[in-house]
């Protein structure tokens, strides 16, 4: 009898230990492999596991429209989105119209996200004015059911040139990565691709015989910027010089820049969020080696103005580190 009791107690102990271990695993949501969100998540997960000894696991999903509600409900611990979508999802506006996510909390700026409209290099299109000229015959990726914020990027860029989606031929895609790959597969003539993303290199290689891919240079005039900001108020149009290291930058181009944020939910423990924030802030160099976009991150800029409250755990670290926090 004693042996049976001992065996039962041992099994119960193992079960309880396994449950506790599972409960302590940090879940980090990201986009699909090849997306900028995925690369961000890989770098952050690696740093948390190696530097903070926090057991974290990356969970790739179709896109932000899928995982932001999961974070809001506490079913995922962290995830990434741009500052505009953070506002939309928190307030139930934009691509989250009528779907408030009031439990979302901001953690930290990962880096400024750089992206823009992309075409095949031999298309004859170099500027948004060229898109306007050819608009009736151009196929553009649309809908983005799993990454619905992407259509706001594209709509903003089209508005920058005096157009709407209805001026072009819309080709439905489900996710950001699918939209990027559609250009390489010849299914669309115009799509959105993040600078330096894994997918940008894949698409560029696929289109090598046609000169690769090229960013469409946007209109940086005050009027053009104003039209653009009606869709992406937290974003800006900025100039990138030619750089062969980045597919699409054969020549200088005006593309899009917007804060790329890490998000969590309000009930996650202050200790956990503090430790995650501290680990990211104190390992920016290592993050930059893991994923080049992090080389743009600076400690003083980790808490920009964003229309979502910061988590108390993040605020605790920023106060200690003397980092100014936006509202």
What is the C-alpha to C-alpha distance for residues 173 and 182, in angstroms, rounded to an integer? 8
Q: What is the third-level CATH fold of 24-111+260-321?
A: D-Maltodextrin-Binding Protein; domain 2 (3.40.190)
Q: Would you place residue 1 in the very low, low, confident or very high pLDDT band (cuts 50, 70, 90)?
A: very low
CATH 3.40.50.300 fits 114-258, yes or no: no
Residue-wise pLDDT for 117-161, tens only, equals: 999 999 999 999 999 999 999 999 999 988 889 999 999 999 999
- pLDDT tens, 73-86? 999 999 999 999 99
- Per DSSP, the three-state class of 302 is coil
CA distance 91 to 49: 33
Residue 248 burial (CB count, 10 A): 25
User: Residue 105 has which token pair?
Assistant: 């909390």
Strand partners, 236: 257
Are 24-111+260-321 and 114-258 the same fold in CATH?
yes
- Assign 285 to helix, strand or coil: helix
- Tell me how far apart the alpha carbons of residues 257 and 268 are, in angstroms, rounded to a whole number: 30
Question: Domain limits of the chain?
Answer: 24-111+260-321, 114-258
Within the chain, residue ranges assigned H as helices are: 2-23, 36-51, 64-72, 83-91, 128-134, 150-160, 176-184, 198-206, 222-229, 270-281, 284-290, 312-321
Whether this prediction's pTM lies above 0.85 is answered by no
Q: How far apart are CA 273 and CA 163, in angstroms?
A: 42
Cβ atoms of 280 and 44 closer than 8 Å: yes
Q: What is the DSSP string of 44-85?
A: HHHHHHHHS---EEEEE-S-HHHHHHHHHTTSSSBEEEEHHH
User: Higher model confidence: residue 35 or residue 53?
Assistant: 53
């Amino acid at each position: 009898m004693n042996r049976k009791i001992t065996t039962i107690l041992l099994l119960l102990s193992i079960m309880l230990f396994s449950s506790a271990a599972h409960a302590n695993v940090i879940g980090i949501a990201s986009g699909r492999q090849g997306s900028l969100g995925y690369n961000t998540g890989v770098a952050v997960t690696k740093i948390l596991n190696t530097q903070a000894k926090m057991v974290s696991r990356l969970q790739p999903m179709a896109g932000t429209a899928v995982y932001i509600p999961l974070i809001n409900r506490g079913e995922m611990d962290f995830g990434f989105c741009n500052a505009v979508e953070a506002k939309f999802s928190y307030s139930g506006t934009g691509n989250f119209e009528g779907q408030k996510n009031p439990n979302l909390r901001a953690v930290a700026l990962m880096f400024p996200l750089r992206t823009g409209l992309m075409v095949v290099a031999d298309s004859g299109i170099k500027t948004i004015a060229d898109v306007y000229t050819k608009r009736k015959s151009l196929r553009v990726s649309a809908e983005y059911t799993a990454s619905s914020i992407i259509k706001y990027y594209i709509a903003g860029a089209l508005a920058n040139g005096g157009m709407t989606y209805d001026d072009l031929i819309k080709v439905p895609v489900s996710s950001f990565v699918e939209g990027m790959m559609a250009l390489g597969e010849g299914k669309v003539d115009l799509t959105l691709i993040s600078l330096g993303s894994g997918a940008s290199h894949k698409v560029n290689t696929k289109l090598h015989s046609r000169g690769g891919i090229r960013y469409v240079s946007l209109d940086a005039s005050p009027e053009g910027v104003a039209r653009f900001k009606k869709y992406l108020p937290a974003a800006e149009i900025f100039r990138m010089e030619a750089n062969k290291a980045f597919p699409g930058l054969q020549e200088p181009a005006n593309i899009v820049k917007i804060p790329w944020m890490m998000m969590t939910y309000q009930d996650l423990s202050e200790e956990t969020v503090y430790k995650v924030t501290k680990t990211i802030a104190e390992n920016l160099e290592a993050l930059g080696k893991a994923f080049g976009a992090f080389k743009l991150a600076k400690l003083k800029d980790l808490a920009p103005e964003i229309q979502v409250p910061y988590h108390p755990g993040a605020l605790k670290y920023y106060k200690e580190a003397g980092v100014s926090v936006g509202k």
